[in-house]
Copies of this chain bind each other. A is one copy, B any other.
Amino acid sequence: MNGTLHDRIRTDFETRILSGELAPGDRLPTEQALMAHYGCARMTVHKALSPLAAAGLIERRRKAGTFVARPRAHSMVLDIPDLAAEVAARGQAYAYRLLGRTLRAADASQSAMLELDGVHTADGRPLAAEHRLVAAAVAPGIETADFARQSPGAWLLAHVPWSEAETRITAAAATAAEATTLGVAKGAPLLCVARRTWRAGRLVTLVRQAFVADAYELVARFGPRG
């Protein structure tokens, strides 16, 4: 596919496996045989097949050989887009409006957290309500940040690196407060995205975004397009 030889070898087997031409359990040629077939060194063959093994598409055992892996519980790539960019791509005007800002002092259970409530809008129409906690100690400077022009999420992305994140996606009925903020009826369905983000084991931020159901969707992909 790409110009390089090991990319060609890799995509060769990738497509043959994904198309079903090579079924799970089938044995692939040995590296020796592939050297001869493609007329290259063993390192090149190895460099081609290693990523497939890492991706779980094939399984390699010494002495036994290389086999097409059985399809397991698959995972897809979920794009977590920048809301501002997403809205702008739709040709709408994005804005974040800060609704509340409270500093919660540290107590026995956790360190000081800045509590931020706001709403993301597209062309002035509410898109999502956001409730966020930010660990003040891990995000120096956030207490003086201006969220009139930039959402807390964008500020954090630019200022605080993170190493780990977990996102939970659920549906929920709008509470009275959410209904008011978003301009929908109480009980209306919302797509809720709750994310916790850590840096070096310490919680950086905890955010819950409630999207108006018919105004937003998440997309996850699996496939050669990346």
Q: Which of A73, A76, A221 has the most CB of B within 10 A?
A: A76
A218 proximity list for chain B (CB < 8 A) = 168-170
Give A60-100 as 1s and 0s: 1 = Cβ < 8 Å from B's Cβ atoms: 00000000000101111111111001000000000000000
If A24-B161, A169-B218, A188-B189 are given as contacts, then 17 extra A-B residue pairs at C-beta distance below 8 Å, sorted by A number, are A18-B200, A23-B161, A71-B157, A71-B162, A73-B82, A75-B77, A76-B77, A76-B167, A78-B220, A80-B220, A164-B225, A166-B220, A166-B222, A169-B169, A171-B189, A171-B190, A171-B213
Render A158-179 as a binary contact track against B, CB cut-off 8 A, 1 for contact: 0011111111111111000000
* CB of A217 within 8 Å of the partner chain: yes
Q: Report yes or no: B85 in contact with A19, Cβ–Cβ below 8 A.
A: no
* Interfacial residues, chain A to chain B (CB-CB below 8 A): 15, 17-20, 23-24, 71, 73-82, 85, 157, 160-173, 187-192, 198-200, 211, 213-214, 216-225
